Amino acid sequence: MLKEDLQKIIKGEVKDDPETLKKYSRDASIFDIKPKAVVFPRDSADIGELVRYVSEHKEAERDLSLTVRSGGTDMSGGPLSESLVLDVTAHLNKIHEVTNEYAIMEPGVYYRDLDKETRQRDVFMPAYPASRDIATVGGMTANNSGGEKTPAYGKVEKFVEELSVVLSDGNEYVIKPLTKAELDAKMKLESFEGKLYRDLYKLLTENADLIKKAKPNVSKNSAGYYLWNVVGANFGAGDPAKGGIDDKFDLTQLIVGSQGTLGIITKVKFRLVRVKPVSKMAVMFLHKLDHLGEAILDVSKLEPESLESYDDKTLRLAIRFFMDIVRILKPKNVLVLAWKVLPEILHIIFGGMPKLVVMAEFTGENEAEVDAKLAQVVEHMKKFKVRVHITTSQEEANEYWTIRRESFGLLRAKVTSKLAAPFIDDFCVRPEVLPEFLPKLTVILERAKIRYAIQGHPGDGNFHIFPLLDVKDPAQRALIPKLSDEVYSLVLEYKGSITAEHNDGLIRTPYLEKMYGPDVIRLFEKTKLIFDPKNIFNPGKKVWGNLAYAMAHIKRG
């Protein structure tokens, strides 16, 4: 009956067959949750109709809701729901405009397609995740993604200039930074939009001190709602002619990272930056982690565009499944590629497997500029007795990039006896505390007596830990909340964030109060109600999370 009702009001498709429901029951997280139906909206008008339908029927069917899904790469369970899942990749996938300064597209556009378009102009949007080839711009915006370019450029929040969003009244709105005069005009509106701006401005101004203190002191954060990013410190006092984020009321900064809990994004405008013409990489092989913190700080001072890492378990996996890496790289000549890789493999075999491989990419306007920084890396690493390899071509650099970017996929696909379980996969601390923090983290992980793999972004103090668990074993499943609590307690002891880029979803929403405290959580709840008073958008994520519910929906294989 639900399928028939929905099909009458939209142009897109509605499916509830077993195969479709099974496919949309999972993403890249540890969860399995079957929806009632999957909807493929044709356009923003379809989304408006769906919002109005759910709003009208919410009182009679309290569990009715809308959860948006795009690439399915989310590791937190963000796009999973027992109600209606909306897939925007089928139809909302058009790139509308690309210039040297910006790109406008629909949320179902894959980043790989956007990147192909922008690079024809030698520009790009640098805040892409490791899953860049299968992630969409809508998912990246909803999660506030970051990745290998974050040390130099920042996360998605830095690149969103404008959003079109369907809000809970079923209408589509353009959301962009406002001057004080523009905000005043919005607040005078006798409409849902006017009330939203009035209520939100009141919440932000009346709680300004609490909100300011709540902002995590790290370079990357995807936890909670970014209330601290909406109103600049000089809002209302800046020169309107000059503009700038500091004297703007910027609601895009609240929609970004909200995981579809405040509204449904229908269009995104990204700022673009120029691609620097020269790029080279220093690859460091650390056989001990004793000086990792100091080494990372030394390299960070040289301002690499990327600073990435993966551990010995990931490297072993890449060597073992070398042909899978080759298929991803698609080299012109497999023998030439193998010949280039052979010296590194032999060095690893005879010199010992490194505990961690760290990749530092430097870019610039000319080779002399980049080579000077690479020489400094080699010099810095001598005091730590760390071997450094300088790549000689982009093709060679791509070998290391592929191992880093595809590492989680390899773990999931090749380690079939255990699940690569993302639940402590995304914490972030200040890089300067790594020398103290990492040994304590190692103690926690070793005490759990589990196998795990480490990848991440050490330049931001952001690490991805993937325990390898047998989720069919109740004792192994019980480690999930135990390890989460221990690791997050350590992260918060160092004033970090429990999620730097993968967001809250089902897995971390229950821990947000541990991070922010009850007063800030109440502000998050009020924010949700201002936007979504009937709780129709992706419930249980960001606010009102339930750990027992999450644990009950873990995959069993």
pLDDT at residue 238, rounded to an integer: 52
Q: Are 282 and 400 in contact (CB under 8 A)?
A: no
What does the H/E/C string look like for 2-13? Answer: HHHHHHHHCCCE
Residue 120 reports pLDDT greater than 60: yes
Give the separation between CA 118 and CA 272, rounded to whole angstroms. 8
CA dihedral of residues 347, 348, 350, 353 (deg, nearest 10): 150
pLDDT of residue 76: 95
Among residues 96, 87, 106, the alpha carbon closest in space to that of 10 is found at 87
pLDDT > 70? residue 548: yes
How does residue 453 score in pLDDT terms, banded at 50, 70 and 90? confident
The predicted pLDDT at position 410 comes to 62
Over range 537-553, report the average pLDDT: 97
Question: Which pLDDT band holds residue 344 (cuts at 50, 70, 90)?
Answer: low
| 240 vs 346, more confident | 346
Asked which of 35-39, 146-150, 182-186 is least confident by mean pLDDT, the reply is 146-150
| CATH number of this structure's domain 278-493 | 3.40.462.10
Which residue matches tokens 């791509």? 398
* Percent share of the chain, pLDDT over 90: 69
Q: How many CB atoms neighbour CB 213 within 10 A?
A: 12
pLDDT in the model for residue 154? 93
Q: Which residues of 298-323 are buried (b: 16+ CB within 10 A; e: fewer)?
A: bbbebebbbbbbbbbbbbebbbeeee
- Taking residues 46-58, what's their average pLDDT? 97
What confidence tier does 243 reach under pLDDT thresholds 50, 70, 90?
very low
Beta bridge partners of 160: 270
SS (H, E, C) 362-410: EEECCHHHHHHHHHHHHHHHHCCCCEEEECCCHHHHHHHHHHHHHHHHH
Backbone angles phi, psi at 265, to 5 degrees: -70, 130
Least confident of 11-15, 39-43, 182-186, 454-458: 454-458
Instruction: For the domain covering 2-87, report its CATH number.
Output: 3.30.43.10
Average pLDDT of the segment spanning 370-393: 93
**Average pLDDT of the residues in 138-167:** 95
pLDDT for residue 224 is more than 80: yes
Helix (H) or strand (E) holding 511: none
pLDDT at 234: 66
pLDDT at 320: 67
Question: Helix, strand or coil for residue 83?
Answer: coil
Count of CB atoms situated within 10 Å of the CB of 170: 18
CATH number of 95-274: 3.30.465.10
Spatial contact of 45 and 164, defined as CB atoms under 8 Å apart: no
Average pLDDT over residues 39-55: 98
Flag whether pLDDT at 556 surpasses 60. yes
pLDDT reading at 239 higher than 70 = no
Q: Where are the domains of the chain?
A: 2-87, 95-274, 278-493, 505-552
Beta bridge partners of 265: 165
- The answer, yes or no, to whether residue 104 has pLDDT greater than 70, is yes
Question: Above 90 in pLDDT, residue 17?
Answer: yes
Residue 35 pLDDT exceeds 70: yes
